[in-house]
Structure 1
Amino acid sequence: MVIYSTSGFFIVFFIQHLVANHANVHLKLPTKIRLGQQLKFDCETSSVISATKSRQWRGGANNKLLCYDGTTVDPTKYKEKMINQTNYELIVEKASENDLECPYACRVGFDIDQKILEVNENNFVQLPDKTITKVDYQMQNGQYWLTLVLFKVFPKPLCKLKNQGRVLPETNATKSVVLYNVTYRLESSESIIPCGEKLEIECKVGNERYLVPARNSIICSPKTSKDSATSLETIVGVCVACISFVGLAVLLTLYKRKKNGEYKKAVNKDEGMNRTM
């Protein structure tokens, strides 16, 4: 003989009822998420939605009631749209960070399906705001620092110097709901970017690339006095060498002319003596 307790029977019945309810309603989450744009949640039922069954949407930061039979708690934020007799959707206007990483549920009568709107590199990319991106490149006491700070970005970027391929090490990162503020810092005893050369930083954010607006603030310094003195000595040395060479050439020319004159005199003298004889 098998004995079933009343409480056990109701527990089994409740679990079976939940499974059956979930099977009758299917919630589809947005596949692409962009802040400031619409989010669309799709709810599909296995049969025609009866007029006697109510439709509900719940979710958001506080998992609250968003819409009941087409009437929303905030018409500027939420809208319900009937697609056909078995399908309807919830439209969330101007998606914000607070709309993400939250549970959402659609319900028809007693049938319900609930899921978490999770963000990842495949469905969500947020590039940093160029207006608040910070880049600082400076030199103090012979040490060079390059600091980059990106605000409100997802996922955490991989950044490098575009013209060198050097990766900027991440030194700090903070997170709000889903967005990051990330700091990168590169230190060197030698110039990271030669003076006068363009400073270009490229970051890979998910599958997208972001070129950081930056400029090389290191001013090319003039040559030192030692370098100037060395250059002056070199110039003077070259000039002296040139003058010496020219002087020697002139002396050699004069010497040759003198020799030629003496030779001609000797020849003329010999010719005169021969004529006398």
Structure 2
Amino acid sequence: MGHSHDHGVSASEATSASSKYVWRLAIAIGLGLITFVTQLLVGLSTSSLALLSDSAHVFTDVFGVVMALVAILVARRTVRRSDRSFGMYRAEVLAALFNAVLLFGVAGWVLYEALGRLSEPPEVPGLPVVIVAIVGLIMNVAALLVLRSGAKDSLNVRGAYLEVMADMLGSIGVLISGLVTLIFGWRYADPVIGVLIGLFVLPRAYNLGKQALRILFQHAPTGLDIAEVTAALEGVDGVWEVHDLHVWTLTPGMEVASAHLAIDDAADPDAVLSASQHLLADSFDLHHATLQVEPVGMAEDCRKKSW
């Protein structure tokens, strides 16, 4: 009987997908704070409900990005102990889930405010709103460009990306409502845009929360067919059966697998281990796999204990 595992990278190189984008998140936070302070000051000085409402939206989103950054730093700097073998990487996933809840709350609040304004549309000053909206739009576009690459392979950065995207839509909405108010004096522009923003954010918040819950429930990574992995391992020379196969995500970019391989009596355990590990890494991008090789006679006992 044999037992082995494969990391694919050295311990010094091992890292979560999110930790590569710490400085990008910090820049996005700085840009968001500029937008928040500008909107708040101008909103207070002009008594603009639109700007004050959007500044609250921006503050909530910046807070969400700050949480994502803190979670990454905690996960990266926490020392592993014998009773904490996986470190604190799940903190990133919890922060992503909290961001999803935050997005739901903000979208609901925006919809509530927008519907309220349909009955009594507030006075929205045109020119100052347009100027501040342009400033916010520039800051949001810059933040999106900073976070775009990280949003592809990190759930946490994707959450921050969605926060900034919601802010950008808010800036566009405020800009449109300001222009319409300035040119046509139509007060309903602001609540109509608010409804559209809320409807845009809600499904994206749902998808982010769904992905975070999949990780927390230790479901297989999205797009990975467990039956296909099983069939591929059973195709390795010497493997008679595969059981107790588990594949889960520790945090985005860190997928983990474990399995029992029942082999023929004539098979070479070391050769089976090596071939199986290379198969998982090359064909399924599973570089951290713990595999147990055992005689065929032990398979029945394992199946009885399997959960």
TM-score scaled by structure 2?
0.26
Normalized per residue, which structure has more strand? Answer: 1
Q: How does the TM-score come out when normalised to structure 1?
A: 0.28
Larger Rg belongs to: 1
Whose helix fraction is larger, Structure 1's or Structure 2's? 2
